[in-house]
Structure 1
Amino acid sequence: MRVILAEDSALLREGLVRLLVELGHEVLAAVPTATELVTAVRDAVDVDVVISDIRMPPDGTDDGLRACVALRAQHPGLPCILLSQHTERAYAEELLASGTGGVGYLLKDRVTDIDAFERAIVTVAAGGTVLDPELAARLVTRAPDPLGALTPRERDVLALMAEGRSNAGIQDALVVSAGAVEKHVSSIFAKLGLTPAADDHRRVLAVITYLTA
């Protein structure tokens, strides 16, 4: 398999490269940021599978996920495996919604099971779907929590909104870009079903939902 890898931890990135090579795969590129991931895929030829961490630079939030979703929009069916330290239903749902098949979501701990990791790569590259067992259980059991669809970072943003912080204040508190804050706020509104309305203040309604959840 011809693989492109994105992981911001130099130690883990090097370890994954060595593992992939030992398994007989060709690593076309191993990059530390989501921006470089997009560039690497653009410049590569015949990529069989992309393996990416979710939380990566430049914003340190869900950049890896957003990069994979964008890449699959540009290259329909591009096989992508996301790696994460935590199981987040919202991340998985967004990845699954990016096209049919060719997707995987694994906990980083699963990579230590080399046989399972190799099977996941082969399955996803062939157009299949692989979900971490822990995540699959969460997808089956949907919680009634109105904030359940929010990512951890979106919850952080909403909590700061509840403290009365402006977008600029949230940007400073989380040390992220203004664009990242705007994207998170828009995503929060969408996931809470708060559509634009002349008589409603979506920011206030979002905070009320947070405080009463």
Structure 2
Amino acid sequence: MPAINSEPDSARRLCPRRVGEPDGSIGAAVAERCGPAVSVDTESTYLPVGRMVGSGAVSGDTRTRILDTALDLFSARTYKAASMREIAEHVGITKPSLYHHFRSKTEILSNLVRPAVEQLEGVLTSARTPEEVLGGCIDAMLEHRKAMALLLRDVSVHTDETVETMTKVTDIVRQATDLIAGRRPDWRRRVRAAQAFAAATDPINMFPNVPAKDLRDELLRGATAILNWP
């Protein structure tokens, strides 16, 4: 990505001196008021007026800040409504810089849900009992509550571009249900397994303010009760 050698128009109005201008330019006439020229960091590319280097507003890993900001915007405005331009503006970088890290919203979504998907896949590999499957899935979804809420509550995430991500999630639900149902289950047992998984996971998004441990205990208690009904 080429280096950025200019400031936003709002910054020029405050200080006409540009980065790299010679002392004989108009910038020299206001150097005392504006201060010396500064180099521009190609990671942040520019800082909107009011966001100062060193304030903490732009510190940290850029990629992480992009993901955190995107998740907030997707949750508040829906995945479809939030744009790449908005994400870049809220992070404090240019749109080209954003595309340097992520090629599309689809790639951002995939990275947001990947930790939860990987943890859920690990549960399906290691769990040996229906209770372990249920408990492990609850733990994963509680740990990544906001990202999972986006998948389960925002219908706009279901697009042609997100098929791969959504297929992984669908496969996890199917595999978890199969493990809960046990070997050679009849259709009634499969219904109970599906009901138990839904009881264990669906309410997570409905109670965002309940402490994770308390919610986990209640979800597991209810899901297990469904499995043990006569």
The structure that is strand-richer by fraction is 1
Is TM (by shorter chain) over 0.5? no
TM-score normalised over the length of structure 2:
0.27
TM-score normalised over the length of structure 1:
0.29
